[in-house]
Structure 1
C-alpha cells in the first residue's frame, strides 16, 4: 500500500498529459523491463534510454537560423571521447579545401565559412550534421588529386596479385573476365555503374520512413566514415587494380598515369555515350584498388537493411554477391579487395549497432509510430538490471555486487547534439516517472497517516 501511495503522489506532480500515459491501463502495455516494482530498487542509477525528443513529436523540424542557439547547445553539451570525430572531420574539411588548386585564399575562406555555417544554423544543421562525414568524404576524394606526387608513397604492383594467389590459389578477376558478352556486361553494369551511386539514396529514404527514429543518422555517419577510411587506406597503400596488370603486366606504376574504365568501356561503346571513360581515366585515385569501396558500401547497406528489415536479408545477400561478381568481371578489383572492404564495413556496423543503433520494435511499420526508442545491442534473456544497462562490479555491500551505470550513460551522452530533431525519438513513457521516483526514493517520505517511511 505504501508503494502504491508513493506512485500516486508522484503522478500528481506530473504534467496532465503524462498522468494519462501513466494510468494503470497504459502502464500494462509497457515492456516488462520497465515494470515499476523493480525500478524503485535501483533509484540511484539511470537506464540507457534517450532523452525526450523536442516538443511536437519525433518528426518535428528545426526552423531557427540563429547560430547562437547552436553555441548555447555546445556549451551545455556533455562531451564524450567519441566527440573527437567532429574535430577530425573539421580537419579533413579544412585540409581538403586548402590543397585544392588554384590557390585562392579569400575564396577558400568564404567557402569554409559557408560550409561551417550550414553546420551551425539549426535549420540546416539537422540535415548536414548527421551527413557531415559523407560531404567530407566527397570533398576529400575530389581534392586528393592535388596531393603532390613527391610526398606520396610507392605504388604497389605485385602485392595484390600475390595475396590473391596465397589466399585463393587463383586470380578470380582474370577468371570472371576471361569471357565477356553484352548480356553479362549489362548485368554487371547495373550494380557497379548504377546501384553503387543510387542505392545509398534509396536505402536512406527507406530507412527514414520505415526504420526506428535515429537510424538514418547512424547509417549516414557509418557510410561517410567508411568512405573516408577507405580513401585514406587507398592513399597510404596505393595498389594497382586488375586492369593495370592486364595492360602493363607487373611493370612499376607511376603517379600521373591515367586510369582506365576497364570493362565499363564496353558499356560506353554499347550505348554510344561517354559515361565512364572520361571519369575513370581522370579519376582522383586511379590506384585505389584496396579496399574495394563498391563492395564495402554494398555490404554496409545490406547490414543496415537486414538489421532494420530482417525479411529482406536474402535480397541483401543476393545484391552483395551480385556486385562482388561485377567488380571482378569488369576487371576493377581483386577478390582480396572485396574481402578487405567487407571486413571494414562489418567492423563499423558492429560498433555502431553495439552502442548507437536504435533497435526496431515489433509491430512498428513507420517511424512515426515509435513512442520511444531503445539504443544499443539487445541481450538474449537478460535479467532486468542488465537489460537496463547496469553491470555488476566488485565491492558491493554484504558481499553482493553493486551496479554501475557508466556503460548505460554512453547512450545519452552522445545523443543531444549528434542527431537532428527530425530523427530524434522520445524516451519511454516511464522516463519522467523514473526521474521523479529517483528523487523521491532517495529521501524519507511521509504517508497520509503522518508516519515516515525510510
Structure 2
C-alpha cells in the first residue's frame, strides 16, 4: 500500500498537460531529419521505402547518357524557379556580349557557335558537365574577347592611383621592395605558385573535394570560381590600372590602349629554361592593365577558403600557400599589395555568401563522399536539400531532390570514371511521414 501511494505522489508532481505533449499527434511534429524509420509499419511501407532508396542510389551512381533534348524541356517545365536563377540570364548576357564584340564579325559562325553551346546545355549527356561549369567557360570567353572592346569607349587608364593607395595604406611599395633584389632560386620559388599553381591548382582542389568533401561541394566551387573571375575581369575593364612593371619601365607617364604588356619577372623564367612560356602570352595579354584586383590572389584565397572549410586540419598549409603566392606576385612585379587586398575581399565575400546559402555542410566522421547518407546545405537553412541543376536526375525524380547526380556526372566525366556511388537524402522518410499524416 505504501508503494502505491509513492507512485501516485510522483505522478502528481509532473507538469500539467504532459499527456497531451506526449500524444502521437504531437510526436509526429518532430522534424523529419530526426525521424527514424518506423519499423512497426506494415511490410508494404517498408518495401516502398527500400524501393525508393534503391532508385535513388541507381540515379546517383549512373551517368546521364540520354541525347533527348525533350528531357531537358520537361525538367525546365517542372522546375521550381527562384530569384537566384537570374545567374543564368547573366551568363547568357556575358556570352552573347563576348561573341558579339569578337573579331572577325562572322555572324554565321558566331550563330552556329552559340547554337552549338545551347545544344551542349540541353542534351543531358553533355549538360551534366557544361551547365555547372558554365561560369568558368563564360569567364574564359569574356576574358579573351575583351581585347576587341573599342578603345574609344573604354575609360582612361589610371597610372597613379595604385601607387598612391600603396603609400596611403602601407607607407611603402612592397612590390618594389620585394623585387629590388632577385636571384634564380627565388625566381623558381616564385614561379611555382604564380606560373604553375595558379593554372593547375583549381583542378587539383576540385578532385580532392570531389572524393573527400560532402557531395555538392565541387559545383559550388566551380560557380564561385567562375563568377569571381567574371567580376574581376569586369572591374579590370571599368577600372584599368597599371601594374608595378609599368611604373618600373615608364614611370608615371600616361598609359595608352594598344601598348604591349610585359611578363616582368616571368621573363627570367623563360630565359632560365630557354623556352617561351610567358613572354609572348603576357606581351599580348587581352587585359594588360588589369592590375586591380589580383585574380592570382583571389583564386588562391578562394581555393584556401574552400579547402579550409572542407578540411580544417589543412588550414595552416592553405595560409602558407596564400602568403606564398601573394609574395610571388609582388616579387615578380605583377601586382601591388593593394591589388591582393582587393582580390582577397572579393574572394571572401563570394565564399561567405555561398557558404551561407548553398555550400554543403561537412559531417563529422565522414571521410569520403560515399559515406554521406544525406546532405545539409548552408549555414542557416537547416534540413535544406541540395537543389539539382535543372534536374540532372531522371524526369520522374523529385523536383528538388538530393540525388546530386549533377556533381557525380561532372566529376566522373572529368576523371573518366565509369560510375560512382552516392548518397541519398532523408526526405523520402519525411515524405512518407507527411503522407501518413494526410491519411490520419
Who is 1:278 aligned against? 280
Who is 2:366 aligned against? 364
Who is 1:163 aligned against? 165
The structural deviation recorded for 1:421 is 1.6
Who is 2:7 aligned against? none
For 2:42 and 2:366, the matched residues in 1 are separated by 28
Who is 1:394 aligned against? none
Matched, 1:98 2:71: no
Matched, 1:268 2:270: yes
Who is 1:383 aligned against? none
For 2:332 and 2:41, the matched residues in 1 are separated by 67
The structural deviation recorded for 1:61 is 1.4
Contact kept in structure 1, 2:236 and 2:291, CA below 8 Å? yes
Matched, 1:438 2:434: yes
Alignment CA distance shift 1:21-1:3 (3 Å): farther
Who is 1:172 aligned against? 174
Who is 1:423 aligned against? 407
Alignment CA distance shift 1:314-1:262 (3 Å): same
Alignment CA distance shift 1:209-1:161 (3 Å): same
Contact kept in structure 1, 2:79 and 2:391, CA below 8 Å? no
The structural deviation recorded for 1:186 is 0.4
For 1:433 and 1:280, the matched residues in 2 are separated by 57
Contact kept in structure 1, 2:75 and 2:391, CA below 8 Å? no
Alignment CA distance shift 1:9-1:19 (3 Å): farther
- TM-score scaled to structure 2, two decimals? 0.82
For 2:319 and 2:48, the matched residues in 1 are separated by 45
The structural deviation recorded for 1:63 is 0.9
Alignment CA distance shift 1:230-1:11 (3 Å): farther
Task: Decide which of 148, 153, 161 is 2:150's aligned counterpart.
Answer: 148
Task: Decide which of 327, 351, 354 is 1:352's aligned counterpart.
Answer: 354
Alignment CA distance shift 1:104-1:54 (3 Å): farther
Deviations 1:246-266 (A, max 9, x none): 111110100000000000011
The structural deviation recorded for 1:210 is 1.3
Who is 1:16 aligned against? 47
In structure 1, runs of 5+ residues without a counterpart are 23-51, 379-386, 390-407, 446-454
The structural deviation recorded for 1:442 is 5.1
The structural deviation recorded for 1:437 is 2.2
The number of residue pairs the alignment matches comes to 385
Deviations 1:211-235 (A, max 9, x none): 1111110000000000000000000
- Relative contact order: is structure 1 or structure 2 higher (C-alpha 8 Å, sep ≥ 6)? 1
The structural deviation recorded for 1:362 is 1.9
In structure 2, runs of 5+ residues without a counterpart are 1-21, 29-37, 393-403, 409-421
Deviations 1:114-173 (A, max 9, x none): 111111111111111111000000000000000100110110000000000000010000
For 1:418 and 1:247, the matched residues in 2 are separated by 54
Who is 2:4 aligned against? none
Alignment CA distance shift 1:235-1:20 (3 Å): closer
Matches within 5 A, 1:117-266: 117-266=119-268
For 2:407 and 2:46, the matched residues in 1 are separated by 25
The structural deviation recorded for 1:187 is 0.4
- TM-score scaled to structure 1, two decimals? 0.80
The structural deviation recorded for 1:428 is 3.3
Contact kept in structure 2, 1:209 and 1:367, CA below 8 Å? yes
Q: Secondary structure at the match of 1:238?
A: coil
Moved over 6 A (4+): none
TM-align CA RMSD: 2.5
For 1:344 and 1:288, the matched residues in 2 are separated by 15
Contact kept in structure 2, 1:66 and 1:122, CA below 8 Å? yes
For 2:431 and 2:315, the matched residues in 1 are separated by 40
Alignment CA distance shift 1:388-1:232 (3 Å): closer
